């Protein structure tokens, strides 16, 4: 489906069980073609390079520095993970538990807010965004989430505040002007069933910002691991492309909570992909799911879906064994070879902590 295609009307029929289908039934929306990807020489599409939480390999994730670095070095889209504050503002953090991504533990005034909660069926201990107002979160500073892997990034600890999604949208607009190309935002709703249970639904808050900034299909693609979150957002009738993220095991938490037995593996079958194509434009599988002997990539394209694989990193521990160099798990391996493999297979996008390497690998592949 080309980016220039006229938006078409589609029913959101998730067909993933009675509870999910009932939720989706009212979410009929006009959905557009997916956000444009750059064109290859000769007119075909080039894969989209998506800066995962910015350029998380080079700067603490979800910071203005990470997003700016990503765009400056080749990212086409930037990805913010969305969670909610106590006063229902969308902020960008990897998780709603923030002890690993902020300096909250160093703030004595917040010591009493450390607690244990059950999030998506799992006990988690720490500090949670939903227990803080935006003003309180703004007193915190971002830190590197993986300091033992990316010690180099810790030099930037404590320098930047927690961003709101609205601030990321404004930054993307500024970066688009600065670099003379349109930069899309790629928000992911994190733990949407959990936040809905707290009376802090993510989708209406996201829709308000989309409307406020008049974001279109070239500006924003909405992703989630939970189909009902995509259905809820589609019910806002905003004509944005939707991206169904897929895990390697287990099932979306909304389906689990509803007693629906559908797993991610079920969703990746040809029939499951046809069902996804009724409501989404993209799937986002783990990169391991698109290499042989799996047929996911071909099956998804046959169903009319684009495929964006996640998450590409340069360190040995995240690379397939054949692309590792030496015995240090934190040293860089042959990341270029992994990108070449996936570009050669025909993925439509890569979600990466190192958008500079991804863009260079893509551009090298385009060079005769």
8-88+162-366 is classed in which CATH architecture?
Answer: Alpha-Beta Barrel (3.20)
Pairing mode, strands 349-352 and 48-51: parallel
- Listed by start position, the domains of the chain span 8-88+162-366
Q: Of 35, 344, 342, whose CA–CA distance to 219 is shortest?
A: 35
Please name the residues in contact with 312: beta carbons below 8 A apart, sequence gap of 6 or more. 52, 287, 318, 335, 338, 339, 342, 350, 351, 352, 353, 354, 358
Local confidence band at 366 (pLDDT 50, 70, 90 cut-offs): low
Query: Minimal CA–CA distance to 58: which of 169, 175, 151?
Result: 151
Alpha-carbon gap, residue 350 to 43, rounded angstroms = 20
pLDDT digits (tens, 9 = 90+) for 119-150: 999 999 999 999 999 999 999 999 999 999 99
Look at residue 61 and tell me whether its pLDDT is greater than 60: yes
The pLDDT value given to residue 294: 85
Flag whether pLDDT at 20 surpasses 90: no
pLDDT band at 44 (very low <50, low <70, confident <90, very high): very low
Distance between first and last Cα of the chain = 27
| pLDDT tier, 256 (very low <50, low <70, confident <90, very high otherwise) | very high
Residue 10 has pLDDT above 70, yes or no: no
Nearest-CA neighbor of 5 among 27, 50, 35?
35
Beta partners for 283?
Answer: 244, 307
| Least confident span in 24-28, 260-264, 316-320, 364-368 | 24-28
How much is the pLDDT for 120? 97
Q: How far apart are CA 69 and CA 110, in angstroms?
A: 31
Per-residue pLDDT tens over the stretch 273-283: 999 999 999 99
Q: What is the DSSP string of 225-276?
A: S-HHHHHHHHTT-----EEEE--SSS--HHHHHTT----HHHHTSHHHHHHH
List, in sequence order, every residue forming a beta bridge with 124; answer none if it has no partner: 117
Distance CA 362, CA 339 (A): 8
Beta strands in 293-359 (DSSP E): 306-312, 349-352
Give residue 367's pLDDT.
53
For the beta sheet containing 77-78, the strands, ordered from the edge strand earlier in sequence to the opposite edge, are 90-92, 81-84, 188-189, 222-224, 242-245, 282-284, 306-312, 349-352, 48-51, 77-78, 184-185
Other CB atoms within 10 Å distance of the CB of residue 29: 22
The answer on pLDDT for 260 being more than 50 is yes
């Amino acid at each position: 489906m080309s980016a220039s295609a006229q938006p078409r009307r589609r029913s959101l029929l998730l067909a993933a069980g009675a509870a999910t289908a009932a939720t989706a039934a009212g979410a009929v929306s006009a959905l557009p073609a997916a956000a444009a990807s750059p064109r290859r020489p000769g007119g075909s599409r080039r894969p989209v390079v998506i800066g995962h939480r910015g350029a998380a390999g080079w700067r603490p994730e979800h910071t203005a520095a990470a997003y700016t670095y990503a765009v400056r070095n080749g990212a086409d889209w930037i990805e913010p993970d969305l969670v909610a504050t106590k006063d229902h503002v969308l902020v960008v953090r990897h998780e709603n538990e923030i002890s690993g991504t902020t300096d909250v533990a160093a703030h004595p005034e917040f010591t009493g807010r450390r607690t244990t909660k059950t999030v998506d069926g799992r006990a988690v201990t720490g500090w949670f965004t939903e227990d803080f107002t935006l003003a309180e979160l703004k007193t915190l500073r971002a830190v590197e989430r993986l300091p033992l892997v990316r010690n180099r990034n810790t030099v930037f600890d404590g320098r930047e505040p927690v961003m709101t999604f609205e601030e990321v949208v404004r930054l993307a607009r500024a970066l688009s002007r600065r670099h003379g190309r349109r930069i899309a935002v790629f928000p992911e709703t994190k733990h949407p069933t959990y936040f809905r249970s707290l009376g802090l639904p993510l989708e209406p808050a996201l829709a308000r910002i989309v409307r406020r900034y008049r974001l279109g299909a070239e500006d924003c693609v909405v992703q989630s691991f939970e189909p009902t979150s995509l259905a809820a957002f589609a019910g806002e009738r905003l004509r944005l492309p939707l991206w169904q993220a897929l895990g390697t095991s287990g099932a979306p938490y909304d389906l689990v909570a509803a007693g629906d037995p559908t797993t991610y593996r079920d969703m990746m079958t040809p029939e499951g992909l046809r069902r996804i194509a009724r409501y989404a434009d993209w799937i986002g599988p783990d990169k391991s799911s698109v290499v042989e002997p799996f047929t996911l990539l071909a099956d998804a394209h046959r169903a009319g879906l684009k495929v964006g694989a996640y998450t590409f990193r340069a360190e040995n521990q995240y690379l397939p064994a054949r692309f590792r160099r030496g015995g240090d798990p934190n040293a860089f391996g042959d990341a270029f070879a992994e990108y070449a493999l996936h570009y050669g297979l025909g993925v439509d996008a890569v979600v990466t902590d190192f958008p500079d390497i991804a863009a260079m690998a893509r551009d090298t592949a385009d060079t005769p």
